Amino acid sequence: MKKTLTALLIALMMTPVLAFGAYPEKPITIIVPSNAGGSTDTTARLFIKSAKKFIPDADFVVKNVGGSGGQKGFEEIARAKPDGYTIGMIFTTQIVAHIVSKRADYTLDSFHIIGNMMQDPLIIAVPATSEIKTLDDFIAAAKAKELTVAVNGIGSDDFVAAKKFENHTGVTFNLLPTKGSTEQKAMILGGHIDASFMNVTQLHGQHKDGTARIIAILDDKRSDIIPDVPTAKELNVPVSMTATRGWVAPAGIDAEVAATLDKLVADVMSDKEFIEACEKDVMILHPMSGPDYKKYLVELQAETQKFYETTPW
Amino acid sequence: MIFESLQALLAPSSLLAVFIGTVSGVLVGGMPGLTATMAVALLIPVTFVLEPLTGLILMGGVYCGAMYGGSIPAILLRTPGTPAAVATAMEGYPMSRQGHGGLALKVSVIASFCGGVFSTFVLLMVAPILAIFALTFGPPEYFLLAILGLVGIVSMADDESSLVKALISGLLGLVIAVIGTDPISGQLRYTLGLTDLYDGVSFMPALIGMFSISQMLDLTSTKRIVTDTSTLQKIKREPFPKGLKKFVGLGSITGTVVGVLPGEGATIAAFLSYNFARQYSKKKHLFGHGNPEGIAAAESGNNGCVGGSLVPTLTLGIPGNSVAAALMGGLIIHGLIPGPELFSKYGVMTYAFILSLFLANIIFLFIGLTMAPYFARISLIPTPILIPVVCLFSLLGSYAMNNSILDIFVALICGIAAVILHRTGFSLGALILGLILGPIAESGFAQALIIGHGSYSIFFTRPQAIILWAIILVLLIPPIIQISRQSGRKKADVERQSDTSAE
Amino acid sequence: MTRRFAEIILLVGFLIAAFALYLSTAEYPKMVQGSTATYVRFLSVWLGLLCLIEMGLWLRKRGREEGKKLNVTSAPFRFWSLLILMFIYSILLEYLGFYIISALFLPVAMMVLGARNIWSVALTSGGVLIFVYLVFAKLLGVPLPQATLF
């Protein structure tokens, strides 16, 4: 009862506290380039909860700018006034995919990269009833006939992973683009496709329940969530791919404000409550500082460019 | 376990949560542009402070309440609060104009209640079996489901406009739905370089424009929405129409089944139930002019979706629609991973949550029935005051869906286009149907061909597909026979009629 | 303009659109020529055919229906003013921000539509804005358009 009331009060009293002088003196808008309720959105809302502990005067407003693979949201961050009152989240590979496909009105230089927060390695999953039990089976089956493999849209992390896999093993997939992980999950569980490339957090529950089977994780080391699944590297297929989710602000932001924001993100990343919440929600923390993350993004862009040149989308 | 769940549900904090959730859900659903998805997402961080169960119950209440709330402005102002209430607007608003707004609201709340309770019951009893059924639907079946919905165009034709015009309208809707990113190649099509169009013409603004704004423009020439005020005095004593039971039942079943299919929404459920009712009704001629049977079917259909959509969400972790997806986010955040464990290890909480949905339905039934006469007065407000307010909320709602200025213009353009199309005898219902079903039809068609390695036989060989074909034929044949018979009998009359029937 | 004439203009427009749509599918990438391009071609062919059929019907019964005026509205002044006001509202929304432009739009539109009671105009306008502030901005945190002009 009491808790309900407190919660309601929190919801009702999101009134900005007016404090003059020091940043931030008005609410900070967080642009989330995906729809409300998704995992990026949840990350942002968890972040706000912790961030208020470190800058008690700060107020945050989440603005969901969903759709178009995040492009609308990314553009809005890049276009925003660089006064520190608009920051936003980005996710890979979409952020670079839009640049290489020449669709985006921004480049990586349009952002001040604050840092990375989460990662979500790619996995290869097959239906529970499938004959394919291991990665070797998978490659053998793919060589025998063209397997139908679902990915989350062209240019997504799944797509790049599938292309990388094709390049390394010399197989060709019958790629099936979908509208997102929900559709991929339904197709795997219903056995409508042969396999799917998707993120580990999207399917680990089904793997444990035995309703789907993850045959490999495309990461450098095994995941704590599903320790029984071998990495592709262990099986001599050196393909690794992960999705990241980090923070940026528009470029040209004041150095002092930038420092405050960098510190805030770092602080939240080491906040015990935040870490606990992320573990519950099975989000895999993967802290990267601003410069490191920038380097990662630049490399990813170069790599994506290669795939774009062979199969443009 | 059920007993423990009941105990958990009857705790004061849970009861308060159901109540607050449902009431705010009705409010959110009633405002165009505010969606249940938005509200549930907002609640996610709030639920952290609460017990997981309280948080879940709060979200469940919002979901149930919002699904019903959308019908209130749809009936009174022809402004659907949620897209799922469009079919309700098509029958409810004419009733309001005739002074039966209060009755329409009552029919809608009772139908919503029945649909909600039925689907929750299904969720409670047979969730795992239904989930397996949901999985048998692949791309070819989704394509056929879209066709099944489009068949409704034919049955819409026999009254308002000629069949050909209705078909043209439906195709126009499908063509407009093509705008945006190609679902297979990711290529942009007909977007004019506008980022806001990359995901296609936003559905809700288009709807608001075609239904709400066009209607407000129309109303500028009248003093009040209600044309016949003589019936107003007897709102409270108006007899409840008989024979709605079978339509409520039809809607509840359709809604639940469509809700169970992952990715299909309440909008499609409502339209399908509405079309079934239109086929099945003995008073076909009344459809489009305020037939309570249509409201009963549509509302029980979209509320039937609530329980249905939670079936794959809770058992498989595949959310049935965007609200269910946000709700699943709320579950996961508390470490509750959907799957069999949810019904065993965390069974007490899961069952308490399901039971709370019954309670939420009872609460909105109570709100709806007691408030109906008061809500109905909204349509008595003089138009000079009412129109600007409704227009403001329509424009604001169009903006708030995607935070997009372009969407406001989409709404305005659709508004004026709807006035012109309506005056020239094209069918807006058919256009909307095309717009809703276009994306499903296209991606289902294309994905099925990929899975079938380019062969069309995939649409005819799978057992589920064959059943769908059979339903399509059953729905298609009677109206075609009827139309051909009609045009044979009164060839001369038809032309005269088509002019006078356009209001 | 007669109703039949308006109809024929629309049909010709749809026919041209269908034709253009059909031609544009040739530019789709090769990977979707068998899937989405086929779908779009199917739509455009049927749209075009149906438009032609409807035009044929129009020609057959043209003689009987001449002179029927296309009556968009019986209150042209209010109809068009409201539409223009809404367009102005949408254009200025980005510059003036939600609250200022709404505080202007509501009373002006009410007056144009014939409201004469100043009190009900003021109270409704104020009430609506406070409601939006409380429910949209405070309770649900929906970001409303902010003024970019100042």
Q: Which residues does chain A have within 8 Å of residue C143's beta carbon, measured at their own beta carbons?
A: 29, 61, 63
Asked whether residue B435 carries a pLDDT value surpassing 70, the answer given is: yes
Closest residue in A to C134 (Cα) is: A12
Q: C144 in contact with B at a CB cutoff of 8 Å?
A: yes
Q: Between these two residues, A197 and B380, which has the higher pLDDT value? A: A197
Contact B47 A7 (CB under 8 A): yes
Tell me the pairing of strands A174-177 and A195-199.
unpaired
Binding-face residues of B in 6-65 toward C, CB within 8 A: 27-28, 31, 34, 38-39, 42
**Touching check for C34 and chain A: CB below 8 Å?**
no
Cβ contacts of C102 on chain B, cutoff 8 Å: 392
Share of chain A above pLDDT 70, in %: 92
Question: Considering only residues 289 to 318 of chain B, which have any Cβ-Cβ distance to chain C shorter than 8 Å?
Answer: none
**Do A176 and B450 meet the contact criterion of CB atoms below 8 Å apart?**
yes
Interchain CB contacts (distance < 8 Å): A and B = 163
Q: With bands split at pLDDT 50, 70 and 90, how would you rate the model's confidence at A18?
A: very low
Under an 8 A CB cutoff, do C141 and A29 touch?
A: no
Q: For residue C141, give the nearest of A62, A312, A313 by CB distance.
A: A62
Q: Which residues of chain A from 167 to 206 reach within 8 Å of chain B, CB to CB? A: 174-179, 182-183, 185-187, 189-193, 204-206
Query: Looking at CA atoms only, how far is residue A240 from chain B in angstroms?
Result: 24
pLDDT at residue C64, rounded to an integer: 58
User: How far does chain A reach from its first CA to its final CA, in angstroms?
Assistant: 54
For C148, the closest chain A residue by CA position comes to A81
Quote the percentage of chain B above a pLDDT of 90.
46
With a CB cutoff of 8 Å and minimum separation 6, the contacts of A300 are A92, A93, A96
Of B46, B322, B335, the CB nearest to A10: B46
| Residue C101 binned pLDDT confidence (cut-offs 50, 70, 90) | very high
Residue range A67-107, pLDDT digits in tens:
778 888 999 999 898 988 999 999 988 899 999 988 888 99
Per the structure block, which two tokens stand in for B365? 């039934």
For chain C, give the mean pLDDT. 87
Angstrom CA distances, A231 to A122, A205, A218, A224, B90, stand at: 10, 18, 6, 12, 56
pLDDT in tens, B313-329: 898 888 878 788 888 87
Q: Is the pLDDT of residue A20 over 50?
A: no
Nearest C-alpha of chain C: how many angstroms from A11? Answer: 6
Contacts of C141 in chain A (CB under 8 A): 14, 61-62
Spatial CA neighbour of B84 closest among B440, B472, B475, B436 = B436
Among C21, C47, C86, select the one facing B391 at the smallest CB separation. Answer: C86
Residue C140 pLDDT = 75
Q: Which of C51, C55, C21 is nearest to C38 (CA)?
A: C21
> C69 at the A interface (CB within 8 A)?
no
Q: For the segment A272-312, what is each residue's pLDDT rounded down to a tens digit?
A: 988 988 887 778 899 999 999 999 999 999 988 988 887 77
Class of domain A2-119+244-310: alpha beta
The whole-number pLDDT of residue B158 equals 58
* C-alpha dist (Å) from residue C27 to B44, B176, B179, B403, B442: 45, 18, 15, 32, 18
Q: How confident is the model at residue A3 (pLDDT cuts 50, 70, 90)?
A: low
Contact A135, A215 (CB under 8 A): yes
Interchain proximity A6–B49, CB inside 8 Å: yes
- Look-up of token digits 């009733």: B95
Higher pLDDT, C150 or C41: C41
Distance between CA atoms of B304 and B313, rounded to whole angstroms? 15
Task: With beta carbons less than 8 A apart as the criterion, state whether B430 and B244 touch.
Answer: no
Average pLDDT over residues B62-88: 92
Residue C11: what pLDDT?
Answer: 92
In which band, very low, low, confident or very high, does the pLDDT at A17 lie, cut at 50, 70 and 90? very low
C-alpha span between A35 and A33 (Å, rounded): 7
Please list every residue in chain B whose beta carbon sits closer than 8 Å to the beta carbon of residue A37: 37, 40-41, 44, 322-323, 325-327, 329
pLDDT in the model for residue B234? 55
Q: Is the peptide bond before A93 cis (omega within 30 degrees of 0)?
A: yes
Chain B contacts in chain C segment 58-117 (CB below 8 A): 61, 64-65, 68, 70-75, 78-79, 82-83, 86-87, 89-90, 93-94, 98, 102, 105-106, 109-110, 113-115
Contact B174 C43 (CB under 8 A): yes
* Nearest Cβ partner for A182 among B199, B319, B339: B319
Asked if B42 and A153 come within 8 Å (Cβ–Cβ), the reply is no
Nearest-by-Cβ selection for C39 from B168, B395, B445: B445
pLDDT surpassing 80 at residue B263: no
Question: Is the preceding peptide bond at A24 cis, omega within 30 degrees of 0?
Answer: yes
Query: Bridge partners of A113?
Result: A248
Q: Which residues contact C100 (CB under 8 A, 6 or more apart)?
A: C147
CATH for A120-218 (3.40.50.410, 3.40.1190.20, 3.40.190.10, 1.10.1660.10): 3.40.190.10
Quote the mean pLDDT of chain A. 86
Q: Touching B: which chains, 3+ CB pairs < 8 A?
A: A, C
Closest CA–CA distance from residue B479 to any residue of chain A (Å)? 35
pLDDT of residue B237: 61
C122-141 residues touching A, CB cutoff 8 A: 138-139, 141
Whether the per-residue pLDDT at A2 is higher than 60: the answer is no
* Helix segments in B136-184, DSSP class H: 139-150, 152-157, 163-178
Min Cα–Cα distance to chain B from C127, Å: 10
Nearest to C75 among B31, B220, B419 (CB): B220
pLDDT digits (tens, 9 = 90+) for A25-63: 888 889 999 877 677 888 888 888 888 889 888 888 888
Q: Do A12 and C143 touch (CB under 8 A)?
A: no
Put simply, whether B168 touches C (Cβ < 8 Å) is yes
Token pair for B170: 């439906």
Q: Would you state the pLDDT for residue B351?
A: 92
Is C139 close to A12, i.e. CB distance below 8 A? yes
Quick one: average pLDDT of A211-226? 91
Q: Is C114 on the interface with A (CB under 8 A)?
A: no
Cβ of residue A46 closer than 8 Å to a chain B Cβ? yes
Checking if the pLDDT of A7 tops 60, the result is no
Residue B233 has what pLDDT? 55
| Count of Cβ atoms closer than 10 Å to residue A280 Cβ | 16
Q: B374-394: string of b/e by CB count within 10 Å (b at 16+)?
A: ebbebbebbbbbbbbbbbbbb
Give the confidence band of C86 by pLDDT, cuts at 50, 70, 90. very high
Residues A29, C138: C-beta atoms closer than 8 Å:
no
Banded model confidence at residue C66, pLDDT cuts 50, 70, 90: low
The domain locations on chain B are 2-500
CB contact under 8 A, B318 and A4: no
Position C130 scores a pLDDT of: 94
Residue of A nearest to C135 (CA): A12
Distances (CA, A) of A213 to A157, A203, A277, B389: 20, 9, 27, 54
Whether A11 and B42 lie within 8 Å, measured CB to CB: yes
Q: At residue A41, what is the residue type?
A: D
Q: In terms of pLDDT, which residue wins out, B167 or B2?
A: B167
What share of chain A has pLDDT > 90, as a percent? 46
Work out the average pLDDT over B16-23.
Answer: 93
